[in-house]
Amino acid sequence: SAAKCSYSISDAATSSDGDNSSLLKNFTAESVKSALLGLTPIDVCKWSLVLSVAVSVSKRTLKLLFDPFFWMYFSWTWLFWPWMVAIALALYGLYSFKKYLNGEASIVEQLAIVTSTFTWLTLVPPAYFNGFLEGWPFVFFLVYHYFFFLNVSVRKRLYGDYLPRDHDPKWDITLPNWQKLSFSVAVVAGHWLAAYEGKELHLIHGGWRNNLPIWILVMLAIFMQYHSTLYLAKYSEKVVVPTAVVEFGPYRFVRHPIYASTALLFAAYFFALGAPVSAALVSLACAVYYGWKAELEEAAMEESFGGRYGEYARKVRYRLVPFVY
């Protein structure tokens, strides 16, 4: 048995040596020359790209591993910004948005659209101007996700799933594309301006005592958004079609508290970064855009509920900001 085992091992070793020697014999200058001559321009470009990426990644990895600053000062609260990740996420978000426009986006792809948008609103601008990230940008990246998914969570609470229901298209209030595009540009520009205008991240004080006003604004915005959506859903068919004039909760103070809460959340982010000019500009953009949309919605409400909505509008005189507008 031992002899048989010894024979098998020696056979395997001999076979392996034979394979290696065969490979070495085939690896000649002539074989290399013929392989190179067989390459097409596309092959050359492809392998050049692969080689360039491999060299670049290797250089960056070695530089990072041998950088004493990285090992001495790196922490999870002081994160250097990975640009390639942000760009890749943006490209995937655009791809997912294209599928969404065609009605083909999955839930994961819809989430990618939202996440890529919030990444380029809350994380990329301060990372660009500071070179690293810490503190409030991370907080608002998560808060934005939670805030803008509250409407979806209400659907889950009412129907047991996240899917929108079929409804009368009359209530799909939408504005012309140029108005929507102008508002989107204003919001994006405001977030970038805030990162430029605001304090350097390491100069923003931490702790509850220093940041309590910001947290109050954040909690107020979330409270307004959630309770406004919930009250509206209770008096609406399939969430979006109103069956009565809602006069409870936040609707006692302004006629469009959902829009007001969105503007308030943006303002909270800008104040957290110490950017009052950006807060003023984006608040103005919100007032104009949501004012346009509110006019269309109020016209539809008056058409459906007549004097009942007119009475409510006289009772609650302000659209977005109590005692102001």
Q: Which residues pair with 133 in a beta bridge?
A: 79
Helix (H, G, I), strand (E, B) or coil at 96: helix
SS3 content of the chain, % helix, strand, coil (to 5): 75, 5, 20
Higher pLDDT, 300 or 161: 300
pLDDT band per the 50, 70, 90 thresholds, residue 278: very high
In this predicted structure, the answer to whether residue 5 has a pLDDT above a threshold of 90 is: no
Rounded Cα gap, residues 78 and 61, in angstroms? 19
Closest to 110 (Cα-Cα) out of 127, 126, 98, 123: 98
Q: Round to the nearest angstrom and report the end-to-end CA distance of the chain.
A: 95
Closest to 310 (Cα-Cα) out of 299, 321, 296: 299
pLDDT band per the 50, 70, 90 thresholds, residue 206: confident
Rounded Cα gap, residues 39 and 283, in angstroms? 59
Rounded Cα gap, residues 18 and 310, in angstroms? 93
The beta strand positions in 59-110, using DSSP E, are 79-80
Rounded Cα gap, residues 240 and 229, in angstroms? 10
**Distance of alpha carbon 216 from the chain centroid:** 23
- Would you state the pLDDT for residue 3? 45
Q: pLDDT tens, 58-96?
A: 888 887 777 655 554 454 444 555 778 888 889 999 998
Closest to 193 (Cα-Cα) out of 143, 125, 283, 134: 125
Q: Which two tokens stand for residue 264?
A: 């308030």
Mean pLDDT, the chain, rounded, equals 79
Q: pLDDT tens, 107-130?
A: 888 888 889 999 999 999 998 888
